[in-house]
Amino acid sequence: MADINRQILLDQIPQGRLGREHFRFNEAAMPKPGDGELLVRTRYFSLDAANRAWMSGATYRAALSAGQLMAGGALAEVRESRAPGFAPGDLVFADTGWQEYAVLSARHLIKLQVTEPITYLLSVYGVAGLTAYFGLLECGKPKPGDTVVVSAAAGSVGMMVGQIAKIKGCRTVGIAGGAAKCALLTEELGFDKAVDYKAGDTLRALRAASPEGIDVYFDNVGGDILEACLFNMKNHGRVACCGAVSQYDTGAPHAPRGVPGLIVTKRLTLQGFLVMDFMAQRERALADLKGWVQNGQLKVREDIIDGFENLPAALIGLLAGENIGKRLVRVS
Amino acid sequence: MADINRQILLDQIPQGRLGREHFRFNEAAMPKPGDGELLVRTRYFSLDAANRAWMSGATYRAALSAGQLMAGGALAEVRESRAPGFAPGDLVFADTGWQEYAVLSARHLIKLQVTEPITYLLSVYGVAGLTAYFGLLECGKPKPGDTVVVSAAAGSVGMMVGQIAKIKGCRTVGIAGGAAKCALLTEELGFDKAVDYKAGDTLRALRAASPEGIDVYFDNVGGDILEACLFNMKNHGRVACCGAVSQYDTGAPHAPRGVPGLIVTKRLTLQGFLVMDFMAQRERALADLKGWVQNGQLKVREDIIDGFENLPAALIGLLAGENIGKRLVRVS
For chain A, the residue count is: 332
Question: B4-123+301-330: which CATH topology?
Answer: Quinone Oxidoreductase; Chain A, domain 1 (3.90.180)
Do the bridges between strand B193-196 and strand B101-105 make them parallel or antiparallel, or are there none, so unpaired?
unpaired
The verdict on a CB contact (< 8 Å) between B270 and A270 is yes
Name the pLDDT band for A215 (thresholds 50, 70, 90): very high
Segments making up each domain of chain A, as ranges = 4-123+300-330, 127-276
Q: Which among B222, B258, B269 has the least Cβ separation from residue A271?
A: B269
Complex ipTM: 0.94
How many CB atoms sit inside 10 A of residue B105's CB?
14
CATH of the structural domain A4-123+300-330, one choice from 3.20.20.70, 3.90.180.10, 3.20.20.80, 1.10.10.10: 3.90.180.10
Burial of A85 (0-12, 13-18, 19+ CB in 10 A): exposed
Helices marked H in chain B:
49-53, 127-134, 156-167, 179-187, 202-209, 223-232, 245-248, 261-265, 282-294, 311-319
**Beta bridge pairs of residue B75:** B44, B93
Average pLDDT rounded to a whole number, residues B11-19: 95
Domain B127-276 CATH class label: alpha beta
CA distance B131 to B127: 6
The verdict on a CB contact (< 8 Å) between A253 and B257 is yes
Per residue in A283-296, pLDDT (tens digit) is 999 999 999 999 99
> For the CA atoms of A74, A78, A82, A87, what is the dihedral angle to 10 degrees?
140
What is the pLDDT, as a whole number, of residue B140?
A: 98
Q: Does B231 touch chain A (CB under 8 A)?
A: no
Average pLDDT rounded to a whole number, residues A181-203: 97
The verdict on a CB contact (< 8 Å) between A263 and B243 is no
Average pLDDT rounded to a whole number, residues B241-260: 89
What is the pLDDT, as a whole number, of residue B1?
A: 60
Q: Does A269 touch chain B (CB under 8 A)?
A: yes
Average pLDDT rounded to a whole number, residues B10-39: 96
Q: For chain A, give the mean pLDDT.
A: 96
Do residues A59 and A127 make contact, with C-beta atoms less than 8 angstroms apart? no
Do residues B314 and B329 make contact, with C-beta atoms less than 8 angstroms apart? yes
The percentage of chain A sitting over the pLDDT mark of 70, rounded to a whole number, equals 99
Q: Does A257 touch chain B (CB under 8 A)?
A: yes
Per residue in B69-79, pLDDT (tens digit) is 999 999 999 99
Average pLDDT rounded to a whole number, residues B170-177: 98
The percentage of chain B sitting over the pLDDT mark of 70, rounded to a whole number, equals 99
Domains A4-123+300-330 and A127-276 share a fold: no
Quote the longest CA-to-CA distance of chain B.
63
Selected residue of A265, A276, A279 to mutate for chain B interface (largest B Cβ count, 10 A): A265
Q: Does B255 touch chain A (CB under 8 A)?
A: yes
